[in-house]
């Protein structure tokens, strides 16, 4: 089994690659993994450090918009896990163009490469997000996103991911390709780029700085540990039905204020460290996932997301890996590729 992982040097991608190569997911014991990654600002080869000597691992630096390269890579892949993306909402508000290029055009390019040159019997998993569904009201806590909730993306990031969702659907419908889509809630865990709220707040507090809380802090996110997400993607790859969409969530809703107070407590910081700042434009109020379909049909369940233990474990990881995030915050992580690959 050979798996091509696009975006494998990012947060979720690198956790997915480690899990697939090292944790022996049933049926994938001898699997080979090829990582394709452009190493944008959020791609970091240090996330995959130590795997270089593994004969079942190969890294290729390249862009998902490069059709000929993608055609070469899909030609001998039994599975394509497409996660390469521009991933941060705030950046998409500042400049949406790179999002449309990587997430819409990039997804079209990878799908088209798989259609033209994909190995016979290849499965294609498109890793999407719950943000394509838009926002839920705080007032009705029973409302959750199901797979039938209409797409109503609100941020340029979400809109560019939704373009990928529609392309994935269209390539299945038109060309009968074996494409599956996952839509997951907010992830947390090791190796997350410290622009996202949890690693940003944790590393700021470990440095004695304040944390910028947007608006009134009442926005709600449904937090899932990255290992649970990776296992969901592997489950969908193994057992999912072609053309289907699967929601993935932790049933673990927290307001940003609750989350911030937990992080303050677990890092031994005081409330004076909260800095209320202007709200994000168009800030989605609440995300909540109904994951009944993947649970009932495929037997997946989150096992590593229980709160606050999983949050504490994640904070401990950042405390124990200061060097990793300091090199990210200083920009030094960019040298790693040149050291390993001499370019
Ligand atoms: P990330 O920003 O940490 O990683 C993205 C990776 O994609 C990086 O390694 C980057 O170098 C690479 N990349 C970007 N543009 C590329 C291009 N044009 N060609 C090749 N590689 C490129 O993001 P993440 O949080 O790991 O998210 C991974 C995927 O999961 C994304 O598709 C995202 O939409 C989805 N997702 C993320 C979350 C979350 O909470 N982080 C939740 C649900 C879904
Ligand atoms: P983020 O980690 O950017 O994920 P997403 O926007 O994709 O859900 O943000 C999570 C929540 O935290 C979101 O409601 C915005 C909020 N937030 C802050 O309050 N301050 C910050 O500095 C950041 C980055 C996010």
132 DSSP assignment: G
pLDDT band per the 50, 70, 90 thresholds, residue 27: confident
127 lines ligand 1 (CB under 6 A): yes
Across 32-41, average pLDDT: 98
Structural contact between residues 233 and 20, judged by C-beta atoms closer than 8 angstroms? no
- pLDDT given for residue 343 in this prediction: 59
Half-sphere exposure of 278 (CA within 13 A, CB side): 4
For the stretch 95-148, pLDDT in tens is: 999 999 999 999 999 999 999 999 999 999 999 999 999 999 999 999 999 999
The CA 84 to ligand 1 mean position distance, Å, reads 5
- Helix ranges, the chain (H): 11-22, 67-74, 89-94, 97-99, 106-117, 156-175, 197-206, 226-239, 256-266, 292-298, 309-320, 322-330, 336-341
Say if residue 260's pLDDT is above 80.
yes
Closest ligand to C-alpha of residue 90 is 2
Catalytic residues: 130-131, 157
Looking at residue 160, its pLDDT comes to 99
Q: What is the mean pLDDT of residues 13-19?
A: 97
Q: For a pLDDT cut of 70, what percent of the chain falls above it?
A: 100
* Average pLDDT for the chain: 96
Q: What is the pLDDT of residue 340?
A: 77
Cβ of 204 less than 6 Å from ligand 1: no
Average pLDDT over residues 239-266: 97
Check whether 342 has a pLDDT greater than 80: no
Report the share of the chain in percent with pLDDT over 90: 94
d(CA 281, ligand 2 centre) in Å: 12
Ligand 1 atom nearest residue 182's Cα: 44
**125 touches 182 (CB < 8 A):** yes
Residue closest via CA to ligand 2's atom 25 equals: 197
pLDDT single digits (tens) 167-216: 999 999 999 999 999 999 999 999 999 999 999 999 999 999 999 999 99
Q: Whose CA is nearest to atom 41 of ligand 1?
A: 187
The third-level CATH classification (topology) of the domain covering 2-341 is: Rossmann fold (3.40.50)
pTM: 0.98
| Rounded distance from Cα 85 to ligand 1 centre (Å) | 4
């Amino acid at each position: 089994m050979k798996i091509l992982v696009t975006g494998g040097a990012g947060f979720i991608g690198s956790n997915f690659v480690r899990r697939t190569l090292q944790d022996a997911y049933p049926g994938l014991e001898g699997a080979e993994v090829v990582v394709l990654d452009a190493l944008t600002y959020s791609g970091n080869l240090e996330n995959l450090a130590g795997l270089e000597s593994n004969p079942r691992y190969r890294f290729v630096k390249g862009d998902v918009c490069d059709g000929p390269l993608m055609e070469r890579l899909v030609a001998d892949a039994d599975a394509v896990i497409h996660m390469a993306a521009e991933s941060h909402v705030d950046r998409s508000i500042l400049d949406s163009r790179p999002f449309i290029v990587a997430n819409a055009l990039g997804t079209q390019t990878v799908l088209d490469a798989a259609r033209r040159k994909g190995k016979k019997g290849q499965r294609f998993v498109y890793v999407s997000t719950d943000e394509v569904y838009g926002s839920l009201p705080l007032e009705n806590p029973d409302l959750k996103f199901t797979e039938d909730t209409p797409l109503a993306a609100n941020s340029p990031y979400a809109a560019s991911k939704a373009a990928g969702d529609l392309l994935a659907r269209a390539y299945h419908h038109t060309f009968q390709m074996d494409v599956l889509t996952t839509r997951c809630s907010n992830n947390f865990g090791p190796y997350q780029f410290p622009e996202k709220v949890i690693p940003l707040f944790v590393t700021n507090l470990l440095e004695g700085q304040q944390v910028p809380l947007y608006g009134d802090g009442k926005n709600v996110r449904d937090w899932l540990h990255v290992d649970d997400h990776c296992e969901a993607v592997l489950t969908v790859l193994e057992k999912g039905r072609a053309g289907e969409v699967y929601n993935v969530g932790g049933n673990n809703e927290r307001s940003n204020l609750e989350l911030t107070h937990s992080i303050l407590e677990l890092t031994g910081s005081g409330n004076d460290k909260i800095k209320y700042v202007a709200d994000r434009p168009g800030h989605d109020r609440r995300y909540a996932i109904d994951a009944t379909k993947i649970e009932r049909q495929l037997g997946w369940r989150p096992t590593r997301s229980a709160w606050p233990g999983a949050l504490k474990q994640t904070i401990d990881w950042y405390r124990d890996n200061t060097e990793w995030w300091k090199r990210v915050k200083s920009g030094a992580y960019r040298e790693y590729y040149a050291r390993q690959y001499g370019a």
